[in-house]
Amino acid sequence: MTAVGHTPTPPLSGIPGDLAAFAAEHGLHKVGGRPPLLRYAQQTWQRRHFVVEIGRGQTIGAQEGSRLGLLWELLTPILWALLYWFIFGYIIKTSRGIENFAVFLVSGLFMFRFVSGCMQLGSRSIKKNISLITSLQFPRALVPMSTVVAEVFSLVPSLAVLFALTMTTGEPLRWQMLLLIPTVALMCVFSLGLALAAARLVFEVPDLDNIIPFVIRALMYTSGVFFSIEHFAGDGTLGQVLAHQPLAIYIELCRSALLEEVHVRAAAWLWAVGWAVVGFGLGFIYFWRAEAKYGRG
């Protein structure tokens, strides 16, 4: 047992009554147990700097052994942009009806790669960091959350490439470009919830790790990454469903910030905020409910 102060705590399950009452009276809690949700959220927030450091370490560690090192963080998005522009813009020609297809495509690609990266890395985070989890006592939510931070570090060079592309393709400098900041912030909040939910799902059902790549691929082709949902799916029921799913919302807001030709209604921002709040809230609670299981096999 570990002392945490003099705040009364609920009786401890699995401990004799007299001992449990003594522990509750003196503010002791069971190591590896699940604290109340509010306290758990407070503990997570208090250790937010730990998340940043882990995320930074993951970003640097991913480039170890490479001669170009962190330069790949800049080269990777450029190479992906060229590849997908050639396939979808030149061969398949999904650029129909879109004036600045280069920015349209690259913005969708970079936003999608960020969210899908958070989901995939988050799903494997518990297993990958099991030695850390079994060695130290801290809110386990910090582990999948650190993968989102690592993806943020990787996203920054991508945004620099995206902005440079926007300027070189003739888009005027507009105040609306500042809206890219809240768009990315809301997308990060949503991705935190996604990473937390995926982490618990794969921890409890390891075989789901093999399904996630298929889910990501399905989302890629239904989120308007390479094409205009309005142009190809229309404004019927299918088009409305596709246009209001979270990835499509964040991609569309990103494009509206950078491209004069893309306009979104104010309701899109309500959807973006709603998806961020609901996605993070549900993901955090879902992960917290299994807090006592992580690292116990």
pLDDT band at 25 (very low <50, low <70, confident <90, very high): low
Distance in angstroms between the alpha carbons of the first and the last residue of the chain: 21
Question: How many C-beta neighbours within 10 Å does residue 93 have?
Answer: 9
Contacts of 292 (CB under 8 A, 6+ apart): 32, 33, 34
Q: How far apart are CA 276 and CA 70, in angstroms?
A: 30
Percent of the chain with pLDDT over 90: 44
Q: Is the pLDDT of residue 134 over 90?
A: no
Work out the mean pLDDT of the chain and round it to a whole number.
83
pLDDT band at 144 (very low <50, low <70, confident <90, very high): very high
Q: What is the pLDDT of residue 212?
A: 93
Asked if 217 and 239 touch (Cβ cutoff 8 Å), the reply is no
Q: How far apart are CA 150 and CA 125, in angstroms?
A: 12
pTM (2 decimals)? 0.82
pLDDT tens per residue across span 150-176: 999 888 888 988 899 899 988 999 999
Retrieve residue 17's tokens: 């009554």
In the chain, where the domains are located: 1-31, 35-288
DSSP string, 28-58: EE-TT----HHHHHHHHHHTHHHHHHHHHHH
How many CA atoms lie less than 13 Å away from 158 in the CB half-sphere? 21
Tell me the residue type at 38. L
How many CA atoms lie less than 13 Å away from 12 in the CB half-sphere? 23
Q: How far apart are CA 113 and CA 190, in angstroms?
A: 14
Q: Give the residue from 209, 225, 248, 2 showing the smallest Cα distance to 120.
A: 209
Q: Give counts: helices (H), strands (E), the chain.
A: 14, 2
Q: Which of 63-72, 74-83, 190-199, 267-276 has the lowest mean pLDDT?
A: 63-72
Q: What is the pLDDT of residue 2?
A: 45
